[in-house]
Every structure is written in structure tokens, then in C-alpha cells.
Structure 1
Amino acid sequence: MSVAFTKEESAETAAETMLPDRPVSPHPNLVTEAGLKALEDQLHQAQAAYEAAQAIEDVNERRREQALPLRDARYFSTRLRTAQVMPPPASTNTIAFGSTVTFERGDGRVQTYRIVGEDEADPKQGMISYVSPVAQRLMGKAVGDVVDVQGQEIEIVKIV
């Protein structure tokens, strides 16, 4: 039966439970070992939240509570299926996926970031995605190299 013939609350609930899928990046899903573990943990959390919501007796409330974890479970399942675990960088001579790089901006600010996969990127925690403009310009560079990032010069001072 169409929700058009049910009470208004059910129509609203039906719309709430049909969340669009989270967008999946077109880039290769490169991850660190820690990134793979984080994806696994997030999938388990989404599955646990979905299972917990199944215990809710009110069907409308159950649908509302299941919508987000179900969407997240689909996303994390896809990301785990496509994950390509990258080995740690073989050298600290040049910047690669997994490198931690310290650079100095033209204005004197010194910043340190680790280059990681898209799902584990968190600039506030010092991790940037390998597809970010900064990481793209830094990849393959060495200590002492100066690169232009969005009109600002940065000098690489350390690679770990």
C-alpha cells in the first residue's frame, strides 16, 4: 500500500528512512593498515546500531533509527571491498603514500601531515588525503624542495 494512503506520520517516516547512499570516491581506495582497521570498526559499529534498532517496537521509530546505520553499513562494506592496503613507505628520501611530511609555508607556519587514504583523512588530527591538492603537489618530492600549492610556496623540511 502506498504511503499516500496512510497517516501523515508514516509518510514522513518513509521519506526519512530512504536516505541516499553516501557518495563513493572515484579514486582508488588506498588505505593504511590503520585505515583498514578503522573501516572495519566503523562497519561493525554501523551493524551494531542497526541491530540495536531492530529491537524497537514502534515500526516508524525503528525505521528512523535503522536508516542511518543501514546507509553507513552499505558505504563501509563497499569501502572495505575496494580497499587497497598500501605498505609503509620504503624510504624517507621522497614523499609517498603513508609518509609524514613537515613543511614550512611562505608565511612562516610550519605544518606536519601524514598522507593517508580518503576515509582516514582528518586534517585536525594531522592526516590529509592523498588526493588533496597539498598531498598531490608533495608526492615524489624531497627535503628542500619548494612547491607551489594554490598560489603559496611551501618548503619541505622533513619526511618521516
Structure 2
Amino acid sequence: MSITTTADASLPVSFRVAMAHVCSPVAVITAFDGDRPHGTTVSAFMSLSMEPPMVAIALDKNSELLGVIRAHGNFAVNVLGAHQSDVALAFARKGHDKFDGIGWATTQALPALDGAVVWMSCATENFVTGGDHTIIVGAVRHVVREESPPLTYHGRVFGTHSPILDAT
């Protein structure tokens, strides 16, 4: 392993480059504000606890969706399938038209995106400040899973997981 050290001034750039080498799932976090659905693409999503089932997500502290979740307390995690890079890009941009042309339905009183390989409804348990983001801890209330490869993000490009086959 080659270790490169960086001066303090270049640390943010080095950190960004290093994080591009970490493979992450691609998820769209969704919630309702009244009748209007909101959503945004995140790669900061993880399983937090099995007992009880909990997840953690991170949203920019200026995110409109963060305000919606703070006001209403519930959100959904839509883990995208390998075929959904266009959905990831649609929800990564700003604007109120992200759901235009995207298949979705209301499930458990939350927006569920068509084609997601995992969908979870969550009740907010806690908000934790983390730099320029807010970490939201959610208690998982309902899970739906499809047998399909997930969409991943690595090296600033979309991909998917391939198992390593043991040659022995």
C-alpha cells in the first residue's frame, strides 16, 4: 500500500479523491411535504443497527429535503438498481421536477421509486450535526427487496457489484 501524506491546505482535495476510491451504494431518499414528494440522491447511506433495525443517512445541512424530514419525521430509502443511473442523476440535481418522468407510488405513506432493489420506510430517531451535513438516524419500519443487482458509485462513475468467483 502506498501512503501519501498531504499538507493541511490540500487535505479537502485529497479527501475527496480518496473517497472516490470507496465504493458506495446509490440511494434516493424520499419524503412527502403535504402532497408534494421530495427526493435527493445520496451515497451517504448505511445500515446502523440490526436490533432494532436502523439506518443512517446524511444530507447537506442546507438541503430542502432535510427541512421536510425535520418537519414530518418520516423518510424512505430507495436503493437503486444497476439499471437506474438515470434516476440517480435526475434526483442529484436541484429543482422541484425531479419526479417528472420517474415511476413511483405511495407506499406506507412515503414515495417509493419503481425499480429500486431495496425500499425502506423509516421513522426519524435522531439528527446529528456532522460538518456541512446532518446525519439522520432512522428506525426501519418496513422493507421491500427485489432480486436485482444494485447501483454503486466508485471512481466518480456508476457501476454495480460483481461477485468474486473462487477459482478453487
TM (norm. structure 1) is 0.27
Higher strand share: 2
- Of structures 1 and 2, the larger Rg is shown by 1
Higher helix share: 1
